[in-house]
Amino acid sequence: MRSHKPLLCVLRRFFGAALVVTITDVARRAGVSASTVSHVLNRTRFVSQDTRDRVLRAVDELDYVPNHQARALVKSQTQQIGVAMSALTNLYFGEVVHAIEEAASAAGYTLVLADTHEDAATEERVVAALRERRLDGLILAPSAGSARVLDRLARSGLPTVLVDRSPDARFGVQ
């Protein structure tokens, strides 16, 4: 019987300790503080052109990618909208999602897409998973028998838009 230990070591080496470049790494490379890097990236304060150039060069050299989750915690906003619909392969829903994505993108949002499979239990799991992501809003095409999901959404305070189904006065439609 062959041992999988060498393969596990290789996998751990490449995936277990993935190199994540932090704002501190960028600051160290540019010779500035982490707050200066933050000001350059977020354009929140004046930073001299020389310092700005050093920071941006370090960002490029290190291939720094901002931590979206950290930013969401600080700002209490994810810039993401959940979309839960059934039969996403259906041409109609495909067009609806395309239109939603265009509008969301223009406003600086990205979508987190989930298929409810026109099943109330699946819809409940999907909506719960989307809520756990602390999204800024939800667009839902409720399935038949989704009263429990709608009740929870109404109580949650999460901005929610219902599409393609009977209106529900709790979501601003009468």
The total number of residues written for the chain in this structure: 174
Task: Record the pTM.
Answer: 0.65
H-assigned helices in 12-140: 23-30, 34-42, 49-62, 68-75, 91-106, 120-132
In our burial notation (b when 16+ CB lie closer than 10 A, e otherwise), range 86-108 reads bebeeeebeebbeebbeebeeee
88-129 pLDDT tens trace: 777 888 888 999 999 999 999 999 999 998 888 999 999 999
Average of per-residue pLDDT across 58-69: 84
Residue with the bigger pLDDT between 21 and 140: it is 140
% pLDDT > 70, the chain:
77
CA distances, 134 to each of 38, 84, 146, 147 (Å): 24, 15, 21, 22
Average of per-residue pLDDT across 54-70: 85
Average of per-residue pLDDT across 30-47: 92
Report the pLDDT value the prediction gives residue 1, as an integer from 0 to 100.
Answer: 46
Question: Which residues neighbour 116 within 8 Å (Cβ) at sequence distance 6 or greater?
Answer: 84, 85, 86, 122, 123, 126, 141, 143
The mean of the pLDDT values for the chain is 83
Residue with the bigger pLDDT between 76 and 22: it is 22
123-159 pLDDT tens trace: 999 999 999 988 999 999 888 778 889 889 889 989 9
* Complete domains list, the chain, with CATH: 5-66 (1.10.260.40), 74-171 (3.40.50.2300)
Question: What's the CA gap between 49 and 12, in Å, rounded?
Answer: 41
